[in-house]
Amino acid sequence: MNLLEIEAQKSAIMPPTRAPPNYSDFVCVDDFEQFALKVLPVNAKDYYKSGACAQETLRNNKEAFRRLRIRPRVMRDLSKRTLVTDALGHPVQIPIGVSPAAMQKLAHEEGEIGNAAAVGEVGGIYILSTISTTSIEELAEKTPQTTKWFQLYIYRDREITKSLVQRAEKAGYKALVLTVDTNVFGTRYADIRNKFNMPSHLKLANFSGKLSQLSNTSDSSSLLAYITSQLDETINWSDVTWLKTITKLPIVLKGILTAEDAKIGVEMGASAIMVSNHGGRQLDYVPASIEALPEIAKAVGHKVDVYLDGGVRYGTDVFKALALGAKMVFVGRPALWGLAHSGKSGVRKVLDILINEFDQALALSGCTSVGEIQREMVVHETYYSKL
């Protein structure tokens, strides 16, 4: 490999040097996304932004929100408002958290620490990915004020999983978020084309030895090779039962899209359900998360918390999700776009935008608190064509 080829390879995986933060032209989440897609190396950009196969679910996660209409109420005293909600029985200052996303130092050197610190400043909840570039313990030490949950994959070697659970408990994480839709890894064409891999200076920080590295492959994504070799296709509902025997932490099941599975999850002892299609990155042509939410909220929302992940880009999206039965929403890519701009301060700016938009949507809909948002305040666009 000659010098030019080496430099080209480095530019494909290494985040470029960025200018100091400038937010004068950044007024919405889309502005941060457009910036991030311009500056991120191809390897990281395509990994973060892409979905499975034709990416129909990825697109629909956002489009489904746009098909919903808000029915506002007027002439109400809006002078005193609060955004406080509760999750797993504990108060949370805002109904917005950050979803687990792998390898965040691909976006910025501050990585998971910068992301989690910003979430702590606004009083949300941060979920750390198993496949993170910051360890469970380091994140706990560096972001003590942030409420943290730990996202969990079940490995073929259950002792690895058990160790992760014990470490999260010891470090003060408040819940486990078990991803239930990844027995088999979704097909992501961009990662295969790019032969996705991490830069050599980054590691999967929750592991040591071979488990801390993505295997190099000549013809495919190294992440695909890692997942295929380490995660277990035999995972089933009995693993939730097993998990409950090794932890006292509440278990949130992430990746459920049907009322049937939500009911089973609750019967197995889950404390909450996160309606999610993995950011459109697993099975293509499944429902958008917001489309699946109402049936799940109706089926189990009176028993456990229901959360939503996927497609949230505006404060009005937060309002719509809460009206349709979610206690909180979690965002993944928007936080990464902020991180790519300027680390913690970029994430904080993205969260501030969403919070301010949600507060405005709350008020302009005639509500002064999360508890006043009613189901009938959000309808599908076809509602008006039937009148």
**Owner of token pair 């889309």:** 30
120 is in an annotated binding site: no
Vertex 17 angle, CA 13 and 23, to 5°:
115
212 is in an annotated binding site: no
100 is in an annotated binding site: yes
Lowest mean pLDDT among 83-87, 168-172, 213-217, 244-248: 213-217
385 compared with 348, residue with greater pLDDT: 348
Catalytic site positions = 278
What is the C-alpha end-to-end distance of the chain, expressed in Å?
67
Q: What is the mean pLDDT of residues 219-242?
A: 80
Distance CA 370, CA 254 (A): 23
Domains of the chain in sequence order: 25-73+80-367 (3.20.20.70)
Following CA atoms 90, 93, 95, 99 in sequence, which dihedral angle do they give, to the nearest 10 degrees? -80
Confidence of residue 233 (pLDDT cuts 50, 70, 90): confident
User: What percentage of the chain exceeds 70 in pLDDT?
Assistant: 91
State pLDDT tens for residues 144-161.
Answer: 999 999 999 998 899 999
90 compared with 156, residue with greater pLDDT: 90
Kind of pairing between the strands at 176-179 and 147-152: parallel
276 is in an annotated binding site: yes
pLDDT (0 to 100) of residue 15: 57
Q: Taking the model in full, what pTM does it have? A: 0.93
59 is in an annotated binding site: no
Distance CA 157, CA 362 (A): 47
71 is in an annotated binding site: no
311 is in an annotated binding site: yes
Confidence of residue 45 (pLDDT cuts 50, 70, 90): very high
Confidence of residue 63 (pLDDT cuts 50, 70, 90): very high
Characterize 186-205 residue by residue with b for buried, 16 or more Cβ atoms within 10 angstroms of its Cβ, and e for exposed. Answer: bbbebbeebebbbbeebbbb
Distance CA 363, CA 23 (A): 26
CB 171 within 8 Å of CB 128: no
327 vs 46, 249, 281, 322, 353, CA distance in Å?
31, 19, 24, 6, 20
310 is in an annotated binding site: yes
Residue 266 three-state SS: helix
pLDDT (0 to 100) of residue 219: 62
Distance of CA 92 to the CA centre of its chain: 17
pLDDT (0 to 100) of residue 196: 80
In this model, does residue 327 exceed pLDDT 80?
A: yes
State pLDDT tens for residues 303-323.
Answer: 999 999 999 999 999 999 999
Distance CA 354, CA 237 (A): 35
